[in-house]
Chains A and B, each alone.
Chain A
């Protein structure tokens, strides 16, 4: 039922709660939210390159890239697993969708764990130098988004278990996947900025 039909179907005195939620709202709203989130990332990256042009000793010697590379590879894997969930639900295959979501959440937790470990074992603090500051800021920005996405993915997983999604109705699942894919793009941008093109 489109929102227009919903509006016209409301008879005098009907409670609005009785009307069905219009389709596509989750997806459109998520795209706007992701756009705003991307602009925050763009602002931080612009700030990074702003100080980079001023600072010497850039980046500090001895910065390890092994763990960040592993995180980036895990991110690439989840690009596929979350899309696998969407492909599955489009075929009404709820069991496979559930498995794909479970694997995505597992990888997301692994990413979070690796990034936390990496920050905890850096040999410089937030205020040591401007490069270090942006390592913390950009990594924390990505981690905050991953935490939010895990909450969303777990909620979507629970609704999938409850059989709420089908081939015809999976807007919320798609919206969650879009948000997770944004987290992936953000993670890869952070990796590229801090470690590939510092």
Chain B
């Protein structure tokens, strides 16, 4: 099955299919393209914001434009990058991992992609709205917008975020239905590949948390646009209704963008360590447990609200770090308990970078969740530093690692490993330099949404953070350059069908796969069906087979 010829082109996989096709690989690629456009945009905005905070009393931006750009940065980065990127990657990969010919609902998948485009249109349009773009932050609570204030930008923001939430919910429905109804024979839930499993958990979280955001947006829209007073405290309302609904969405959803990154590394480590994932079931339970705990900790984002039982949420939001650390330990054990050193190919190098970031993010999160208020709490720069270590250093890094691993399968081209190594070092350095100093100034009392500062003692940390942000932006630019040169311009090395000697079903088809994904499927007798086939073939060449999971031919 292994070939090293020019990747075959398929009418369903050309650039035209990106716009109008229903093939899950094209739809996934479409979502990824959109996501990377907004990764770049959000990253440039972050660099501008950090330039403002590089020195005390700067005059780069006034307060309102700063808060407007901050709102754009948060909205773009989460709703138009992280969400469509994971949904897009899952659309492309999950059916292949399940041995399915397509997603359960291909047209709904295409609609999901276009809903993200609509969301992007509305969010970009806020820049041209009457009274300017909203300056209320990505959580629209600084302050919660009320009638007659903030202009039409808030209305456009509501539609944009609402469409992104709807797209994510529909994507989650599609992925869950696909995973439950379209698995290959023998592929039980316990044998489900780790990436697909993590996407199932994340999809369940999006399915249950996303509607809370939509409910909240309905209330904010009626209040802001139609003159109601549900959120106005002196008219019988309460702004905490929106804040609570947003927290019920945001806290689990932010974690749900981290779980797939754990899934990606849980795929990569065993393949390059040439060993099964240590205690795979524990890792599966840990990801599912973290998904459950993500709901129980949502109140930690409301620290300071007297109606919120702070101790309860401090405990539950610290507890979630346990299963995440457990998954990390399964990776380390997989490598440590193996006699051979892991093969440091491009995806494994990215996974190591992610591991370094995760190792630093977990203690930062633990301190923040335990203290909740004060210098290392949710209203300080510590919040920004800790969450960005997780969302950039783990969630975003996971997408990059996933593409190093699956680009050869999806597009038949390898990303450049040398450039990948340089990019990994740049991103890890950028994450550490940009976000660890924020923990320091946060602990010293710098507010989470400070638009300027005057304390000289904060200057070195803020300057380092700004340099780190530029470094991070350079790392992301290197990745995008790698992707464009190797995949779009087709300069990358041509991939064989199974270039990494992978374990899961996506490596049992051609690179790139045909429109119907599989001409034949190996029999699934474990969580590593393609490994089983290789092992059986090796046994056949060296002697009579004891157990031979043979290929089930297409027309058998």
Residues of chain A at the chain B interface (Cβ within 8 Å) = 3-4, 6-12, 14-16, 19, 22, 24-25, 28-29, 32-33, 35-44, 46-47, 50-51, 54-56, 126-127, 129-130, 133-134, 136-137, 141
Indicate which residue in B108, B207, B226 contacts A127 across the interface (CB closer than 8 Å): B226
Residue in chain A with minimal CB distance to B12: A16
Instruction: Report yes or no: A36 in contact with B169, Cβ–Cβ below 8 A.
Output: yes
Minimum distance in angstroms from B551 CB to a CB of chain A: 11
Q: Which 3 A-B pairs have the closest CB atoms?
A: A43-B215, A39-B211, A127-B227
User: Does B521 reach chain A (CB closer than 8 Å)?
Assistant: yes
**Chain B, 193-228, CB within 8 A of any chain A CB:** 207-208, 210-212, 214-216, 218-219, 222-223, 226-228
Instruction: Report yes or no: B519 in contact with A7, Cβ–Cβ below 8 A.
Output: no
A67 to B361, CA, bound (A): 56
Indicate which residue in B101, B104, B215, B555 contacts A16 across the interface (CB closer than 8 Å): B101
Residue in chain B with minimal CB distance to A133: B228
Q: Which residues of A contact B520 (CB under 8 A)?
A: 8
Q: Which residues of B contact A56 (CB under 8 A)?
A: 236
A42 to B238, CA, bound (A): 18
Contact (A29, B237) CB under 8 Å given A7-B518, A44-B215: no
Indicate which residue in B238, B245, B516 contacts A51 across the interface (CB closer than 8 Å): B238
Instruction: Report yes or no: A10 in contact with B104, Cβ–Cβ below 8 A.
Output: no
Residues of chain B at the chain A interface (Cβ within 8 Å) = 99-102, 104-105, 108, 147, 169, 172-174, 176-177, 180-185, 207-208, 210-212, 214-216, 218-219, 222-223, 226-230, 235-238, 240-241, 244-245, 248, 514-521, 552, 554-556
Q: Which residues of B contact A16 (CB under 8 A)?
A: 101-102, 515-516
Indicate which residue in A19, A32, A38, A55 contacts B176 across the interface (CB closer than 8 Å): A32
Minimum distance in angstroms from B388 CB to a CB of chain A: 28
A47 to B174, CA, bound (A): 29
Q: Which residues of A contact B147 (CB under 8 A)?
A: 127
Residue in chain A with minimal CB distance to B184: A4
Minimum distance in angstroms from A21 CB to a CB of chain B: 9
Instruction: Report yes or no: B181 in contact with A137, Cβ–Cβ below 8 A.
Output: no
Minimum distance in angstroms from B121 CB to a CB of chain A: 22
Contact (A32, B228) CB under 8 Å given A19-B101, A39-B212: no
A14 to B102, CA, bound (A): 14
Residue in chain A with minimal CB distance to B203: A32
A51 to B216, CA, bound (A): 13
Instruction: Report yes or no: B237 in contact with A7, Cβ–Cβ below 8 A.
Output: no
A27 to B180, CA, bound (A): 12
A130 to B421, CA, bound (A): 57
Residue in chain A with minimal CB distance to B223: A133
What are 10 contact pairs spanning A and B, CB under 8 A? A3-B181, A4-B184, A10-B519, A16-B516, A22-B182, A39-B208, A43-B215, A47-B216, A51-B230, A54-B238
Minimum distance in angstroms from A123 CB to a CB of chain B: 16
Minimum distance in angstroms from A89 CB to a CB of chain B: 21
Instruction: Report yes or no: B177 in contact with A25, Cβ–Cβ below 8 A.
Output: yes
Instruction: Report yes or no: A47 in contact with B104, Cβ–Cβ below 8 A.
Output: no
A130 to B240, CA, bound (A): 14
